[in-house]
Structure 1
Amino acid sequence: MRLVALQPGNYHDTLRCNIVHCPLIEPEAAVQDERLPVGELQKTLSDGWIVDQTLDGRYLFMSPRNSGIPNSWKHPDPNYDPKAYELPTRSADDGFLRHIPSYEALSYTWGTPDNEEHVCVTDPDDPLRMSSWLQVRANLATALRHLRYPDRPRTLWVDAISINQADIDERGRQVKRMSQIYPLSENVIIWIGRESEDSALALETLRYFGEQVEYIISHRWGDAPNAQELDWWRDGHTLPYDEKTWKSIFSLLHRPWFERVWVLQEALSCNRVLLQCGRDSIPWVSVRKALLVLRQKTSILPPDIRGRLFAYARGLMAPPLASSEHLLLWTRNQKCTDAQDRIYGILGLLDPKIVAKIEVDYSIPVWKTYSRLVLAENEVYQKLNMLNHCNVMTRCEGCPTWVPNWGQPIDGANTGYLSIRRFYASARSSAVAKLIEPAYHLQVAGRRVDTICRVGHNLSGTFAEVIEEILDWAPKEPHSDIYVSGGLSIVAYVEVLVRGRTSDRALGNNPCPSIRRLSELLTQAIASAKLGNNVAREFKDCFFVNECLFATREGYLGVCAKGLREGDEIAVILGCDFPMVLRPRGSNQHEVVGPCFVHGLMLGEALKPPLEPPWKDVLPVTRGWALSYFINPQTGELLKNDPRLGSLPAGWEEATTLDPFLPPFVFKNRETGQISMNDPRMSAEAIEQRGIVLKTFELI
């Protein structure tokens, strides 16, 4: 690797450095985390107490609800051995830092090629003797001036200098090493530019707010131990910030660093990260916590900051907080010079098993890079959830329709339900897929469900703006019309309108309204043909730009991004968690139109026998995964095992895993040791043995 040995100097002195070439050698021994796993530590706590991991890896003990006991870094039993829960530290003595070389890694944006500066490259054996001049862009030059010490050298890894950007092969090799280069550095320094627009105020505000709150990896947040402001984490609690303070935060979040793809994996690569603006710096974890918690305070945030945080914080919720799909949705609204970097720029945050299947190659077409992610997901997980991000209106020109266009921003459509692991239309089945070359078609297996016979108008705007369309599609007899899969049609219609975001299938506290309440409100609106404030309030976040309602010949109701037509087909593809709209093109070939939400197909109903009363599906969220459970409302009995599927095949068992890229409950083959997120009872063969007719679709 090439390192930049930045020579000492004052701010206005000529920039001087020498280039050091050396191997990157892994540490002799990594620090062993001898702490108990969170699940085991939880067993040591009394009723009501919870322990979970924070963003920087520490264990946080949270007191019983409404107990008044503050959260703590200490076990509630003062006699419990701290080694079981305290985060181990690194030092040179434990061997972790005894690797070559020692350096700091810089995270920054390149900026424009205007006003380039020259850096004097000196002879390593004689720092006063110049050997050549190196051109760098102004933003990097400014960063180096702020970062150099006045009295001693400082060794940095800087991509613009440490990688020969003109050599495509070298650039590709170095991209795959990012998951080593940044974590093995002594520190990562995020440089966001000079001090301006009250940046010092913004940093101090975020630092202090970050010290008052903690965010844990099960998507919860609360007060930090020893917090001075105990209620600042609460959603509705007003913060003492004036217009100047909010404006300074807004300006900070619109700096180029926050708009780029590449920098995220650099910032999330380790816990030793500082964000620096001019001469001011704060711990990055404080910024990350502050932005994640502020994002939840929608009622008190200024609209411009709320809009920015909603999109940006999806990236901050990287694994284990969120799925790869969160990150890929995030990249679509970020900037990068090369469109392929929407994939390559987050490789360090993806499952290493996926990364191993993706060759970094800037010489191939962009769409082929995107296709490799689809194929890698199928090969590693036997899943096809990347198909959920295909869209007939935004597909790459001239490429297969089953390849998502990650370079196209999403204007609201589908992001509300695609960015979370909430549904299982294919019921944890294993994908059956094969690439057909040279046509580059993808052959998949699934069940053809129905044909679309009616397509609505674009649902754009608020509930009030689309009320006429909503009333037109509503059941004519809400109290008696029966839906195709059973139950009242008004219930199906309501769930389609809110894309399944109700409290009915959740366990515990859930802020979403119930289907019953929503049905009653909509029934009243239908009867009066008027929109009340209470209806508008409950449905206010239901509609996204570029979506429309549709109906099928058999009576299914759904919603999809615009672009579908009458005659398109609804299919449930094995290994894909959303129903898919496909467009027949003859000879069993189909174009991918995009994913859809269809009441009666979202929880595996197309691939499993009907669920017998009184059992109901529920979807408790564990570590960000909404896993399908089954509850008997009459007795409260809760089952993880689907009562429709019988026992697991011989040799298989359910198991738990802490792998952030897998659901917490997986299936393990005792004989081979194979771990799968897919239920062995949901293989194509097992499904067909239960009488479900599957077919092959050739996606073109």
Structure 2
Amino acid sequence: MAAYSYKALNTESKEMRLARLHPGKGNDQICLDIFHRSLKQPTRRVKTRDTLTKLQKTLPQDRVVKETLDGRYIFDYKGTDITQSSWDHPVEGVDRASYELQEDDYLPGPGYTPEYDALSYTWASELPSAKANVSGSAISGSDFVAEIELGGNLASALNHLRYEDKSRVLWIDAICINQKDAAERNIQVKRMGSIYSFAQRVVVWLGPEGEDSTHALSKLQSIAMQVELTIDNSLHATPGASKPDWYHPFSPSHRDEFDDRTWSSLKSLFNRAWFSRVWVTQEVALANRFAVLHCGAYYLPWLDFRKAIGILRANMYTPEDVKSILDPHVPGIPPSTMRPLSRLLKFVRRRNCQIPHDKVYGILSLASPELSSSIEPKYEEPAARVFIDVSLAQLNLTKRLELLQYCSFAEQYPDTPSWVPNWESGPRTLLFGLRTGHFRQASGQSSAQYSLLSDDTLQVAGISCARVESVGADADGDFDQVFDVIRSWEPEGLGEDNYKPGGLMLDAFLEAVFQGCLKDRFLRAVSWPELSELRQHYIALLSGIDRRAEILKYLKNGVAEAARFFTTKEGYFGVAQRDVSKGDIVCIILGCDMPLLIRPAVELKDTFHLVGICFVPGLLDGESLLGRLPDKWKLQMIFEDGSYVPTYMDTSTGHSQSEDPRLQPLDPNWVKIIRERSQDDPYFLQLFKNTQTNQIMNSDPRLPSALEERGVILENFKLV
């Protein structure tokens, strides 16, 4: 039988291919029809309920409302006590229409066609390949005139997923895209978001049953019945749950459910290839709530699977080796308004694909429409060009240099400049402080000043603050070994002297070691320590009293591990990735939230390599641009509307304000406006508008003059 020959798609009518899978069972021959249909933007139903912010204002002070993964609102109590949640508003008389979904909002409107399921699976497989018969027309039951080769895993999926008594329409990338036509593939890659979003359901295929997978999935489903996971990744007991304490991180009650057999089967399950693949990231993120996961004959809703991962990762009784396997899947892909490109970059670095281009193209549908529309898939281009282009597209869109925080000179991708992140793999050291990087104010709310001097040279403006003088040992090994390395980092006079940039040296040392992960700044971070507590333990330690255990329990959050301590001749110290070396320059770059290390390039005069991020007390809150905060003021991050917001507190009065006390009042022609979250810049909700010109800025218009008043002279750094 001849090999199947693809007919060109009509791009003007937005055609896609679909495969109609014929009925069958067991080892019956796989039979398909392949046909074309137009896929156009459907009309979506409009939700009429209130927003979370509006609804929260109707609740008693001790109550909170959250949105679950399937879009429902759940009402619970604030705090960590185990309490009963509810789907009902706690105040009598509140109109249910204000918080309930009035109708199914997860599918295209009535009568929308085509109707199909989209398959999410892995190509690579040790299973033998197979051939499927393809009919000569789109009429089921017509004569078969061609055949198409299927990978082993795909053949296994179709054998399991076909119905016995009726056909099933599927979208399958290996079949529905002509993989030998580069032009078609470039076009269809940009449509992947629509294909998975408009599907009736996404079907995840993990592979045949094996290694006790059915047992693992049944245990995950049992815990999912007791827990709700919200879009801000908080856990709540399912209303009416028979075991309402299972959501709580310190609850031991589900330990009997998860024995050695269960942990072993879960580790085997998560080691399946599907969990390491790039493309599945967007496939499940774009799926509606009807997505389902299949492994052999067992299946469960994808949302139940997600919930179970969340509770197991949060529970203190889950074995550490299991948590490390779950880590890449927690918190999963957030809603669109909270997934900037930097977050997608971190996510795909841990996943595999056949060619490096797909590290970008595989998440393109998850990026903002503004960004994705500016990037045209070009598989014929080198991967280095793809990585450069996406960095420039992000910079031109946001006028921020946040992607610089994800660069590492030691992990530089071949043929890319140091200012372009390596999408294939991350740095050997991932500073824990980077997790709170977008809550830092190293360059204030400044706009990047940059110019592209050549394909490889990006000129940026900033300030050089210090030069590295000494570098300590790597914080490697188990927690006890990390603790010993930290003791070797202690600078002279640690318990007695002041830190040259300001404050106690011991406080600055502890802030560096813990990379700012302190409850003093993040009030809601209940598992993080207060600086005063750490100071008390460390003073005792310096006087010879053993406080190792008290400090170790906080080091287990991941801070300090795999970092290097460094000092500068200007009196600063901090921690950095292992790339840091003597002579590196600590600088603040406008439009970048964290201090960076740069290194003079040997091969080209007056140019620099970007080494990577660093965490330096005294340079984290705009001090290099605006000076130190007045003594009575403290910068805190207040959790509001699902995110942390920088707030300045007057410690003498307890009064808090959003205004930086180091800045003069706004010019009367400028006003602050609050905006909805932008996917490209989700952590900055504050914009500035000129009432005379209607110009809107995502940076503070006072900064240029404030720098002039302080005599700050900006430098230009040519990064190569």
Q: What are the equivalent positions in structure 2 for 1:517-532 lying under 5 Å apart? A: 517-528=533-544, 532=548
Structure 1 contact 657–666 (Cα < 8 Å) conserved:
no
Deviation sequence 1:340-390 (CA, Å, 0-9, x none)? 211211122222222122221112221221222221221111111111111
Structure 1 contact 7–15 (Cα < 8 Å) conserved:
yes
- Equivalent of 1:58 in 72, 77, 88: 72
Aligned-partner Cα distance in 1 for 2:375–2:600: 31
Deviation at 1:135, TM superposition (A): 0.4
Q: Which residue number corresponds to residue 7 of structure 2?
A: none
Q: Residue 627 of structure 2: SS of its match in structure 1? A: coil
Q: Which residue number corresponds to residue 538 of structure 1?
A: 554
Q: Which residue number corresponds to residue 152 of structure 1?
A: 166
Task: Report the residue type matching 1:177 in the other structure.
Answer: R
Q: Residue 428 of structure 1: SS of its match in structure 2? A: coil
Task: Report the residue type matching 2:357 in the other structure.
Answer: Q
Aligned-partner Cα distance in 1 for 2:222–2:679: 30
Structure 1 contact 579–595 (Cα < 8 Å) conserved:
yes
- Equivalent of 1:250 in 267, 289, 296: 267
Distance 1:115 1:155, change over 3 A: same
Q: Which residue number corresponds to residue 129 of structure 2?
A: 116
Q: Which residue number corresponds to residue 141 of structure 2?
A: 127
Aligned-partner Cα distance in 2 for 1:664–1:593: 26
Aligned-partner Cα distance in 2 for 1:365–1:52: 44
- Equivalent of 1:511 in 527, 534, 547: 527
Deviation sequence 1:149-182 (CA, Å, 0-9, x none)? 1222111100001111122222121111111111
Task: Report the residue type matching 1:640 in the other structure.
Answer: S
Structure 1 contact 4–17 (Cα < 8 Å) conserved:
yes
Deviation sequence 1:203-252 (CA, Å, 0-9, x none)? 22112211211222334222111111111111121222211122222221
Structure 1 contact 276–282 (Cα < 8 Å) conserved:
yes
Structure 1 contact 211–286 (Cα < 8 Å) conserved:
yes
Q: Does 1:346 align with 2:356?
A: no
Moved more, 534-543 or 480-489: 534-543
Aligned-partner Cα distance in 2 for 1:535–1:100: 60
Q: Does 1:102 align with 2:123?
A: no
Q: Does 1:634 align with 2:624?
A: no
Structure 2 contact 483–552 (Cα < 8 Å) conserved:
no
Q: Residue 510 of structure 2: SS of its match in structure 1? A: helix
Moved more, 58-67 or 553-562: 58-67
Q: How many residues align?
A: 695
Structure 1 contact 505–619 (Cα < 8 Å) conserved:
yes
Moved more, 413-422 or 192-201: 413-422
CA RMSD of aligned residues (A): 2.4
Structure 1 contact 548–562 (Cα < 8 Å) conserved:
yes
Q: Does 1:681 align with 2:702?
A: yes
Q: What are the equivalent positions in structure 2 for 1:390-409 lying under 5 Å apart? A: 390-409=407-426
Q: Does 1:217 align with 2:231?
A: yes
Aligned-partner Cα distance in 1 for 2:62–2:684: 21
Aligned-partner Cα distance in 1 for 2:533–2:185: 56
Q: Does 1:164 align with 2:178?
A: yes
Task: Report the residue type matching 1:330 in the other structure.
Answer: F
Moved more, 663-672 or 426-435: 663-672
Distance 1:467 1:105, change over 3 A: closer
Q: Does 1:648 align with 2:666?
A: yes
Aligned-partner Cα distance in 1 for 2:166–2:233: 43
Q: What are the equivalent positions in structure 2 for 1:379-390 lying under 5 Å apart? A: 379-390=396-407
Q: Does 1:275 align with 2:293?
A: yes
Deviation sequence 1:407-449 (CA, Å, 0-9, x none)? 1244453255347633221222111122222x42111111111
Deviation at 1:399, TM superposition (A): 2.2
Q: Which residue number corresponds to residue 9 of structure 2?
A: none
Q: Does 1:284 align with 2:297?
A: no
Deviation at 1:191, TM superposition (A): 0.8
Structure 1 contact 390–593 (Cα < 8 Å) conserved:
yes
Distance 1:536 1:388, change over 3 A: same
- Equivalent of 2:469 in 441, 453, 456: 453
Distance 1:318 1:310, change over 3 A: farther
Q: Which residue number corresponds to residue 152 of structure 2?
A: 138
Aligned-partner Cα distance in 2 for 1:372–1:523: 50
Q: Residue 128 of structure 1: SS of its match in structure 2? A: coil
- Equivalent of 1:603 in 607, 618, 621: 621
Q: Residue 379 of structure 1: SS of its match in structure 2? A: helix
Q: What are the equivalent positions in structure 2 for 1:303-342 lying under 5 Å apart? A: 303-317=320-334, 319-320=336-337, 323-342=340-359
Task: Report the residue type matching 2:401 in the other structure.
Answer: L
- Equivalent of 1:22 in 17, 33, 37: 37
Aligned-partner Cα distance in 2 for 1:65–1:115: 54
Deviation sequence 1:249-271 (CA, Å, 0-9, x none)? 22211111111111021111122
Structure 1 contact 218–622 (Cα < 8 Å) conserved:
no
Q: Residue 448 of structure 1: SS of its match in structure 2? A: strand
Q: Residue 628 of structure 1: SS of its match in structure 2? A: strand
- Equivalent of 1:551 in 528, 550, 567: 567
Deviation at 1:628, TM superposition (A): 1.7
Q: Does 1:177 align with 2:194?
A: no
Distance 1:355 1:322, change over 3 A: closer
Task: Report the residue type matching 1:604 in the other structure.
Answer: G
Structure 2 contact 469–567 (Cα < 8 Å) conserved:
yes
Aligned-partner Cα distance in 2 for 1:506–1:307: 25
Structure 2 contact 74–85 (Cα < 8 Å) conserved:
yes
Aligned-partner Cα distance in 2 for 1:489–1:134: 69
Q: Which residue number corresponds to residue 393 of structure 2?
A: 376
- Equivalent of 1:79 in 86, 89, 93: 93
Aligned-partner Cα distance in 2 for 1:624–1:135: 48
Q: Does 1:502 align with 2:515?
A: no
Distance 1:482 1:699, change over 3 A: same
Deviation at 1:582, TM superposition (A): 0.5
Aligned-partner Cα distance in 2 for 1:536–1:546: 15
Q: Residue 358 of structure 1: SS of its match in structure 2? A: coil
Q: Which residue number corresponds to residue 8 of structure 1?
A: 23
Q: Residue 174 of structure 2: SS of its match in structure 1? A: helix
Task: Report the residue type matching 2:508 in the other structure.
Answer: A
Structure 1 runs not aligned, ≥5 long: none
Aligned-partner Cα distance in 2 for 1:254–1:571: 41
Q: What are the equivalent positions in structure 2 for 1:34-45 lying under 5 Å apart? A: 34-45=48-59
Distance 1:324 1:102, change over 3 A: same
Task: Report the residue type matching 2:130 in the other structure.
Answer: E
Aligned-partner Cα distance in 1 for 2:372–2:262: 41
Deviation at 1:563, TM superposition (A): 2.1
Distance 1:517 1:254, change over 3 A: same
- Equivalent of 1:570 in 572, 586, 606: 586
Task: Report the residue type matching 2:219 in the other structure.
Answer: T
Aligned-partner Cα distance in 2 for 1:685–1:140: 62
Distance 1:566 1:95, change over 3 A: closer
Moved more, 328-337 or 14-23: 328-337
Task: Report the residue type matching 1:184 in the other structure.
Answer: F
Tell me the TM-score normalized by structure 1: 0.94
Distance 1:195 1:66, change over 3 A: closer
Q: Which residue number corresponds to residue 425 of structure 1?
A: 442
Task: Report the residue type matching 2:619 in the other structure.
Answer: L
Q: Does 1:492 align with 2:513?
A: no
Deviation at 1:464, TM superposition (A): 3.0
- Equivalent of 1:207 in 202, 217, 221: 221
Task: Report the residue type matching 1:667 in the other structure.
Answer: L
Deviation at 1:13, TM superposition (A): 1.3
Structure 2 runs not aligned, ≥5 long: 1-15
Aligned-partner Cα distance in 2 for 1:509–1:114: 47
Q: Residue 592 of structure 1: SS of its match in structure 2? A: strand
Q: Residue 222 of structure 1: SS of its match in structure 2? A: strand
Moved more, 129-138 or 515-524: 515-524
